[in-house]
Amino acid sequence: MPEDDTGDKPLERTADSRWEVARPHGTSLSGVRMAGFRDRTAGGLDMRVLPQPAVIVVIGLGTAPITVEGASGHRPLSGLVAAMSPGPARIRGKGVECVEVALSPRAAYALLGVSPLELDGSITAFEDLWGRHARLLHEQLADTASWQERLALTDGFLRRRAAKAPPMAAEVAATWDAIVAGRGRVRIGDLAASCGWSRKRLWARFSSQVGLTPKRAAMLVRFDHAARALLAGEPAGDVAAACGYADQPHLHRDVQALAGCTPGALAGLTASTGP
């Protein structure tokens, strides 16, 4: 995990009527984005969890838990880890204050400590993943009032994990980069040929290190671009054409499969219900 020299730069702070947001201008690890969120009005968090090409770690800082509602029922958690394709779920909470970390697949493979496949396409309790180290970090963050210190503590925690992190196979990393560069519009056979592997070998190695098959990863990256466009208010027909779907029903099927709702329902979601 390469380092840069941005860790000591001041925070970037933004706020709207609902959320205070604090972001460092950089982190010391590539493939890692983090931010602090605080509900300014205590109006409550109610947010659908959407698939995205990153593993999301949320560490709650308040006394009230964050409740995850999914296929397995309601679970109150002090922190959570959401797989890239977590299945239909909602996150709810009152007076939410948290640190959120987004890990690219390369960073997730290095920092999680388990194969992404073990997340099993779901939302996992933060402490179930990192055990006593997670509990200690949670206590340190809760005892620290400054966003700058909180984000620095989180960055230091990840740096220590990165020091003994396994590298992702170069062929797997190159395949992921090609999928992202192609916005998900790639042929799996071409990806295998470009790294000199058979389709079967690529499928197995990529799945074990990324947590998705190459085909599912390409589907997710394309969906991510489509979801952002839909949330920005672009018509579904235009989004389907721009993102490389065969037609609007194809877009509908992918959104239904990944987000558990229709493109119209997805377009109706706003940032007003959560960070």
Could you give the CA distance from residue 153 to residue 34 in angstroms, rounded to a whole number?
Answer: 12
Asked whether residue 4 carries a pLDDT value surpassing 60, the answer given is no
What is the per-residue pLDDT across 219-264, written as a single tens digit (0 to 9) for each? 999 999 999 999 999 999 999 999 999 999 999 999 999 988 899 9
pLDDT at 18: 79
pLDDT at 59: 93
- DSSP class of residue 269? -
pLDDT at 14: 58
Asked whether residue 53 carries a pLDDT value surpassing 90, the answer given is yes
Average pLDDT over residues 35-62: 87
Angle among Cα 124, 136, 152 to the nearest 5 degrees reads 95
pLDDT at 101: 95
The strand order across the sheet containing 123-125 reads 11-15, 19-24, 32-39, 97-103, 55-60, 79-82, 123-125
Region of residue 79 (left: phi > 0; alpha: psi -120 to 50; beta: else): beta
154 pLDDT band, cuts 50/70/90, is very high
- Rounded to 5 degrees, φ, ψ at 245 are -80, 150
Alpha carbon distances (Å) from 135 to 73, 79, 140, 219: 24, 10, 9, 35
pLDDT at 137: 93
Domains of the chain: 11-162 (2.60.120.10), 170-273 (1.10.10.60)
The strand order across the sheet containing 45-48 reads 45-48, 90-93, 66-70, 73-77
pLDDT at 156: 94
Could you give the CA distance from residue 275 to residue 271 in angstroms, rounded to a whole number?
Answer: 6
Higher pLDDT, 5 or 221: 221
